[in-house]
Chains A and B, each alone.
Chain A
Amino acid sequence: MLNNRRLRMTNYKLPLALLVALAVSLVLAATVFAQDGLPTDDEVNKIAKDLYCPVCESTPLDVCPTEACRQWRELIRQQLAEGKSEEEIKQYFVTQYGARVLSEPPNRLASYLVPALAFLAGAFLLFRGFRMWIKPVAVEPASPTEEAASVIPPDDYIRRMEEELKKRK
């Protein structure tokens, strides 16, 4: 049984390998063929900037020094040469490797909504707090004692400056 499965896998692997080899040689041939009109590094990097390979975390594809990322960049160049648009190329990588290759989560609403709501909630609480804190002073006319209490102690430095001024006199 086990042997059988292994056999089947080998059977399956061989044509796949051939297919890959064929594809690679075709790609290479195409590269040679299209040598003149090959997209520039800048065009490649412009797209690679927004992509992340699954291995090199936090390093955008355009600056990642690893061999694997170099191959990805060549793949982008290839697809550009084939006339694919930026969106199509990005979509290709997403289909192949998942949404994590993009620099932002595809569901923008979910990623922005939570911090925005949290911030608005904070702002709401703060302003409600302001109104609550300030009201009593605004409504009740301050009695003499309260007025005395609400005199704000001056800043240290102003106090010191005034002291010094007095000394001069």
Chain B
Amino acid sequence: MIADFGYGVLVVAFLVALYSVIAAVYGELKKQPALVESARRAMLLTWPLLTLTAGVLLYLLVNDHYEVQFVYEVTSRSMPLYLKITAWWGGQAGSLLFWSWLMSAFTSLVTLRKWDRDREFLPWVIVVGGVTMAFFIGMNVFFENPFAKLYQTFDGNIAAYTLQPANSILFTPSDGRGLNPLLRHPGMIIHPPMLYLGFVSFVIPYAFAIAALITGRTDDRWIRITRRWALWAWLFLSAGLVLGGRWAYDVLGWGGYWGWDPVEIAAFMPWLSGTAFLHSVMIQEKRGMFKHWNMLLIILTYDLVIFGTFLTRSGVLSSVHSFAQSAIGPLFFAFIGVTLITSVGLIIYRWEMLKSETQMTSMLSREALFLLNNLLFMGILVVCFWGVIYPLISELTTGQKVTVGPPFYERATSPLFAALMLLMGIAPLSAWGHSTVKTLGRAIWKPALGAAIVTAILAFTYTRNIIALIGFFLVALVILVTLYEYGRGALARQRSQGENIFIAFWNLTGRNRRRYGGYIIHLSMMLMAIGILGIELFQVETQGTIAIGDTLELSGYTIKYREVASWDNPGAGVNYTRAVVEVYDKNGNLLGNLHPRKDFYFDSQQPMTIPGQLASLKDEVYVLLIDWEPINQESTTFKIFVNPLVNWLWMGSLLFLVGIIIAAWPDKDPERVTVRAGKRAHQTSAAD
């Protein structure tokens, strides 16, 4: 009964979203502001409606209503309360609802803003938000109903139906199948919401871009309004990616953080185009150039968001055929096609209005280098896109299924990433409008010399690997250039304001958050690059079967097997097997005990491998329990990785998020700042 109520509310939310679109278009075209206002309120109504729907679903999840198919598939009696709640996004139907719910929160937020100075955008922002939302709610209403219940028909078949079929009785299983154990990790609990937040919040800048195209108000107003939205979207998407990497490292048990899996790439592609967008909008803000390109980039990002959801949700990745069988796959495809064609059509329609206001004057100017940056991001995007769709093309054209794995992506993207790093070292030193080889050379020679010295030291002390040395040179260059820029600003402030150097740093960042937040992001990228270079180029591994008291050696470390124990936790429905191993360095000093584990979940019949990790700045010893003999404990198989520098990656990830938060932090109200500045000026003159 309660499930039917949930479905009913969902249908109402769908109709309300559709109404808001129709009312906004009609009201705008017929010049009836009351109707547009009605559309705005309808948009505001979707959030409470979807919250109610979600509340019903959560009620069903928490109270073990296994007659509901979705609840049966993702929860079980042994799961703790918080996992029953997060199971909401642990399956197809629920995660689509989660998408719509977040989307409605964002569109509601945006409709609540002050619209005095850009009222003309409002109806079209509602249209874009409403269409996107109606599409996603429609998926739930028509194809993936989270409230469908299990019915047993007279011939004994059990299946899920939205409405009770004739001659059937409700079927209630005594327990559910339980959430996939891989999804029970804390990282996996926050990772999808972050990614989805990133996905849905990129819809807002897109909505404003489309509104700007339709209304013909193609100045940079839409960019200024959506700047922070785009940064927050980028923050969430980045956090989602980073958490996903950490989760993979901690749970998947392959000693890595990123496997170039199509599902990962699905989330990485909008991040790439979004990053290109964040850089290139600055050209439009400063120089009024490349308006077409910015429009294209945000449209691309929006459709990559939909494409990413489509890739992970339609089953297209496992096979072209499973895609053709799934009901939602072709619809997603059609939706992407329609939005892409309409949006690009609008750009062509407004082509003349989007002409640049100024001209490019130098190939080394900041704007030219930003364009190069965009070219490189697009290059990586093309590699990713091609890698994801190549197996599908191959299957369609030759019938041969192929795998496009990490070697392809690594080989194809690493020169592009290296070029991006080089650019990150040069671009902050170039000026808007005009730079020459001479001015750039004068600015860069000191940091470049410093980087060369660092590289030489590393060549003598750490490695002779040429790729690693090129990588470390670029890392050092970017770090030095960034610190140089930062230091110059801080010193200028110190001199002019008489501030302590630390305060000067702090105030400098506060005064121009986007610039210095951006520099912190660049620095964090370099820390991450150190970790990536370390693990990609120097990771070593060994695997061996040993008895208690025996040892395995790898890269100067000795791992001694102490004991293994296995026990059930019936309450949680898990069997744990935990080994104890000691780690010694090459001088025989005990560094610590590690506890690699294998958990086996009864409800889903799936194992999970939890590594034992011994972390330091230099490297990380990462031990996996692969296999053991339950009876005599005499032969236990361990796999050991030594992952050099990997913890720089995690530190970099944290700094990265800090940097984005600094850049995205709301500025003080500009008018109030002016008033205060005026007051201060008054006080100073009085003091003089």
Residues of A whose CB lies within 8 Å of any CB of B are 40-42, 45, 50, 52, 54, 57-60, 63, 65, 98-106, 111-112, 114-116, 118-119, 122-123, 126, 130, 133-134, 136-137, 149-150, 152-153, 155-157, 160-161, 164-165, 167-168
Contacts and interface: CB of A to CB of B under 8 A. Distances in A.
Contact of A58 (B259, B386, B433): B259
B531 to A, nearest CB: 20
B497 A126 contact: no
A104 B403 contact: yes
13 contacts: A40-B543, A40-B544, A45-B543, A58-B261, A58-B263, A98-B400, A104-B405, A105-B408, A111-B387, A115-B412, A119-B378, A157-B515, A161-B496
B359 interface: yes
Contact of B382 (A101, A119, A157): A119
Contacts of A157: 489, 511-512, 515
A150 B493 CA distance: 29
A157 B544 CA distance: 59
B545 A115 contact: no
A53 B262 CA distance: 16
B360 A130 contact: yes
Given A155-B432, A157-B512, 9 more contacts: A60-B259, A65-B609, A101-B403, A105-B403, A105-B408, A112-B408, A136-B359, A161-B489, A164-B497
A63 B255 CA distance: 9
A49 to B, nearest CB: 9
Contact of B407 (A41, A57, A103, A168): A103
B545 A41 contact: yes
A156 B512 CA distance: 8
A133 B609 contact: no
B317 to A, nearest CB: 7
B450 interface: no
B543 A115 contact: no
Contacts of A136: 359
A111 B408 contact: yes
A123 to B, nearest CB: 6
Contacts of B394: 105
A158 to B, nearest CB: 9
Interface in B256-275: 259, 261-263
A109 to B, nearest CB: 12
A126 B372 contact: yes
Nearest to A168: B496
B541 interface: yes
- For the complex of A and B, the 3 pairs showing the least CB-CB separation, nearest first, are A152-B433, A103-B405, A41-B543
A130 to B, nearest CB: 5
Given A100-B402, A119-B382, A137-B359, A105 B375 contact: no
B300 to A, nearest CB: 13
Residue of A58, A101, A150, A157 ringed by the most chain B CB atoms within 10 A: A58
B379 A122 contact: yes
Contacts, number: 147
B328 to A, nearest CB: 20
Contacts of B361: 134, 137, 150
Contacts of A54: 401
A137 to B, nearest CB: 5
A164 B401 CA distance: 65
Nearest to B255: A63
B437 to A, nearest CB: 15
Nearest to A45: B543
Nearest to B433: A152
B286 to A, nearest CB: 7
A111 B411 CA distance: 12
Residue of B286, B402, B406, B637 ringed by the most chain A CB atoms within 10 A: B402
Interface in B381-407: 382-383, 386-387, 390-391, 394, 400-407
A91 to B, nearest CB: 16
Residue of A136, A160, A167 ringed by the most chain B CB atoms within 10 A: A167
A99 B399 CA distance: 11
A100 B403 contact: yes
Contact of A114 (B362, B368, B386, B639): B386
A101 B405 CA distance: 10
Interface of B: 252-255, 259, 261-263, 286-287, 317-318, 358-363, 368, 371-372, 375, 378-379, 382-383, 386-387, 390-391, 394, 400-408, 411-412, 416, 431-434, 489, 492-493, 496-497, 511-512, 515, 541-545, 607, 609, 637, 639, 681, 684
Contact of A60 (B405, B607, B609): B405
A115 B255 CA distance: 29
Given A65-B609, A133-B359, A161-B496, A119 B404 contact: no
A168 B497 CA distance: 8
Contact of B406 (A103, A152, A155): A103
A100 B405 CA distance: 10
Contacts of B496: 161, 164-165, 168
A153 B358 CA distance: 11
B254 A63 contact: yes
B360 A119 contact: no
Contacts of A137: 359, 361
B512 A105 contact: no
B607 A126 contact: no
A52 B403 contact: yes
Contacts of B497: 164, 168
A122 B543 CA distance: 45
A111 B382 contact: no
A103 B432 CA distance: 45
A41 B541 CA distance: 11
Nearest to B360: A133
Contact of A115 (B362, B383, B401, B402): B383
A116 B383 CA distance: 8
Contacts of A41: 542-545, 637, 639
Contacts of B431: 152
A161 B493 contact: yes
B513 to A, nearest CB: 10
A59 B375 CA distance: 31
Contacts of B261: 58
A111 B387 CA distance: 8
A165 to B, nearest CB: 5
B358 A102 contact: no
A113 to B, nearest CB: 10
A101 B360 CA distance: 50
B544 A59 contact: no
A119 B379 CA distance: 5
Residue of A122, A152, A156 ringed by the most chain B CB atoms within 10 A: A152
A100 B544 contact: no
A105 B402 CA distance: 6
A163 B607 CA distance: 64
Contacts of B382: 115, 118-119, 122
A122 B681 contact: no
A50 B88 CA distance: 36
A156 B673 CA distance: 15
